Amino acid sequence: MKTFRFTLIASIMTLTLFTLCGCQQEAPQVETSTEDIPWVVDRFDDIKVLRYEVPGFENLPLQQKLLVYYLAEAAKCGRDILFDQNFKYNLTVRRALEDIYSKYEGDRKAAEFVALEKYLKKVWFANGIHHHYSNDKFHPEFPREWFEPLVGKYAKERLTIDEKLLCDIIFDETLYASRLNQTDGVDMVTESACNYYEGVTMAEVEKFYADMVDPNDPKPISYGLNSKLIKDEKGNIVEKVWKLGGMYSEAIEQIIFWLEKASSVAEGSQKSIIDALVNYYRTGDLREFDRYNILWVGDNTSNIDFVNGFIEDYGDPLGRKASWEGIVNFIDSTACRRTQIITENAQWFEDNAPINPAFRKKEVKGVSAKVITVAMLGGDCYPATPIGINLPNADWIRKEYGSKSVTIDNITYAYDKAAQGNGFNEEFMLREEDRERIKQYGKLADDLHTDLHECLGHGSGQLAPGVKGGELKSYTSTLEETRADLFGLYYLGDEKMVEIGLIPSTDVAKAQYADYIMNGMMTQFSRIELGKNVEESHMRNRKLIAEWCYEKGKKDNVIEWVKQDGKSYIVVNDFDALRRLFGELLFEVQRIKSTGDYEAGRKLVEDYAVKIDPEIHKEVLERYGKLGIEPYSGFVNPDYELVEQDGKVVDVKFVGKYNFIEQMMEYSTKYSFLPSIN
| Lowest model confidence (mean pLDDT) among 14-18, 503-507, 632-636 | 14-18
State the virtual CA torsion across 26, 32, 33, 34 in degrees, nearest 10. -60
For 216-272, write each residue's pLDDT tens digit. Answer: 888 999 999 999 999 999 999 999 999 999 999 999 999 999 999 999 999 889 999
pLDDT at 6: 31
Q: Read off the pTM.
A: 0.80
Q: Which residue would you say has higher pLDDT here, 317 or 454?
A: 317
Greatest mean pLDDT range, 578-587, 617-626, 627-636? 578-587
Mean pLDDT of the chain: 91
For 523-551, write each residue's pLDDT tens digit. Answer: 999 988 899 999 889 999 999 999 999 99
Neighbour-count burial of 599, counting CB atoms closer than 10 A to its CB (0-12 exposed, 13-18 middle, 19+ buried): exposed
pLDDT at 13: 32
Confidence of residue 451 (pLDDT cuts 50, 70, 90): confident
> Is residue 41 helix, strand or coil?
strand
| Cα 10 to Cα 408: distance, rounded to the nearest angstrom | 16
Residue 404 has pLDDT above 70, yes or no: yes
pLDDT at 19: 29
For 621-632, write each residue's pLDDT tens digit. Answer: 999 989 888 888
What would the mean pLDDT of 547-572 be, rounded to a whole number?
97
pLDDT at 416: 77
Kindly state the helix (H) or strand (E) to which residue 613 belongs, with its residue range: none
pLDDT at 26: 36
Residue 11 has pLDDT above 80, yes or no: no
Neighbour-count burial of 32, counting CB atoms closer than 10 A to its CB (0-12 exposed, 13-18 middle, 19+ buried): exposed
> Is residue 115 helix, strand or coil?
helix
* Cβ-contact 579, 512 below 8 angstroms: no
The three-state (H, E, C) secondary structure of 615-657, written as one string: HHHHHHHHHHHHHCCCCEEEECCCEEEEEEECCEEEEEEEECC
Residue 18 has pLDDT above 50, yes or no: no
Residue 31 has pLDDT above 80, yes or no: no
- Domains of the chain (ranges; CATH) run 18-22+48-80+247-635 (3.30.540.30)
For 60-111, write each residue's pLDDT tens digit. Answer: 999 999 999 999 999 999 999 999 999 999 999 999 999 999 999 999 999 9
Confidence of residue 36 (pLDDT cuts 50, 70, 90): low
* Cβ-contact 373, 330 below 8 angstroms: yes
